[in-house]
Structure 1
C-alpha cells in the first residue's frame, strides 16, 4: 500500500470520510481555544460536567423528532445553560461551591438523559447520543458545526481581554468590574455551545476530549496564550485526521480513535514537550554541571 492510498485516498474516495474530517477540523478550530481558557481558569472538570449536562436536552429533542440535528442541538444547548445557571445560583445563595453543584447536576442530567433516550430509542440510538457518529455527518450537521465555530470565535474575540485577566488573577476582574459574573456566564455559554457542536460528531461523553486534550498538550510546548490556542487547534486537527485514518484502516469506532490520538499527543507532550518532564529535568538547575 502506497502512502497516497494510506493517508489520502480514504478522504478522496469516500464522501463520508471527507465530511467527517471537515466537521472535526471545524470543531477543533473553536474547541481548542475554549479548552485553553477552561484549563487556564482551572475549570477543566467543569467542561466534563457540562458535557454531561447537555444530555437531557438532546434526549428531549430526540423524543420529539428522532435524530434530527436542530431539535437535539437546541435542546442540548438549553439544558447546558440551565445547569450552568442553576449551579451558579446554588453557589451564590448557599454554602455549596459551584464545582460541587455542577457535579450534582451533571449526575442528575446524565441519568435523566439516558432514561429519556431509552424511553423511545434502542441501544443503537443511545450509543449514538453518548458517543456520536462522526462518519454519519451530513451537510446540515457541517453547517451547524460551522455556525457554532463562527459564533464561538467571534465570542472569544469579544471576551479575550477579560478572560485573559481572569486567567492571570481569577478575583481581579470581579473586584474591579461588575462585568465579571456576566463574562463568566457568557464563557460558560460558549463552552456549552462547543460541546453541543462536538456532540454531533463525538457524542456527549467524548465531546470534551477534543476540547481539553489538545489544550492540555499545548501547554507543555508554549507559554503565550495565543501560542497555546494556535497549537491546541493544530493538535485537534492532527487528532481528527489520524483518528479517522485509524478508524478507517482498523475498522474501529471513529470518535474514540480521535480522542485516543489526542491522548497520545498529550502523553508525548507531557514527556517530551519544551515544558514537559524530560526537558524540565534535563535543564533544571540542580542537574546542571558547574
Structure 2
C-alpha cells in the first residue's frame, strides 16, 4: 500500500475516535455510524482496521485505486461488549500525491427482474426441523469469504442466506423449475435461492418445504431468522441478512455477504445504500 493511501486509510480509522475529526464532517461514514450507535446508547470502545489493494491503474499523474478495508469495532452497550465487523470496498483517485476523490463502491446494485412463481397448493409438505444453531454457525464461518462447495455470485447476499438456511436443515424443492420452490443443483438454481426480491416473495408465500412467518417487529425475530431490505422503498427488495445475535436491548445483529458484515445492527442506517424510504420485511423460519 503506497504512502498516500496508507495515510488516507489511517485517517479514516481516526475518524471514529477523534472528536476533532468527527466534527470536521469530512467522513460521512463515521458520522452515520456514530449517530447510529448514539441512538442505541452504544459506544465504540476501539476500532481496528486492515486494508489491501484490489486493483490499481496509473495514467500519467493520475492514479486510481480500488481497495478493501476490514473494520472491527468493539462496542459497549449497557455494560456488555461485543464486536461488529464489516468489509468496505472503496475507490480513490490521486493527482500526483494529492487525493482528489475517495468513495465507497455501493454493492447493492439492482438485481435482475426475476420473480418467484405462485405456489402449487397441492404440493406435498416436506417435514423438517430448522436447526438455528447450525444456520448461525454457518453464517459466522462464511460471512467474509465464499464456500467453494457452492456457486458464487458477484452480488452474493441472497446466495449466502440460502446457504445458511440450508445448513440449518431447510429442505430444497421445486427443481428444475427456476420460478418455483427454493433449490440449488450444481450451477443451476431457483430465483429464490439467489435473487433478493425473489427470496422475499418465496418466504412470504411458501406453503411447503422451507417456510416462514412474517412478523411486525425486529425484536420478534430469533437467531437464524431473515430480514429483507428494500433500500429505495420502491417495492423491489435488494438485500437479505441473517440474525446471528442480539444486542443489549434484544434487537437483532446480523451477518451478510456482498457488503460483508458480522454482528451488524439490523437497521443498516450507516450503509451507503440507506435512504429515508427504506422498507424492511421480518421473517421467522417455521419448522415443517
Bucket of the pairwise TM-score, normalised by the shorter protein: under 0.3
TM, length-normalised to structure 2: 0.25
Task: Pick 1 or 2: higher relative contact order, CA cutoff 8 A, min separation 6.
Answer: 1
TM-score (structure 1 length as normaliser)? 0.25
Q: Which has the higher helix share?
A: 1
Q: Which has the higher strand share?
A: 2
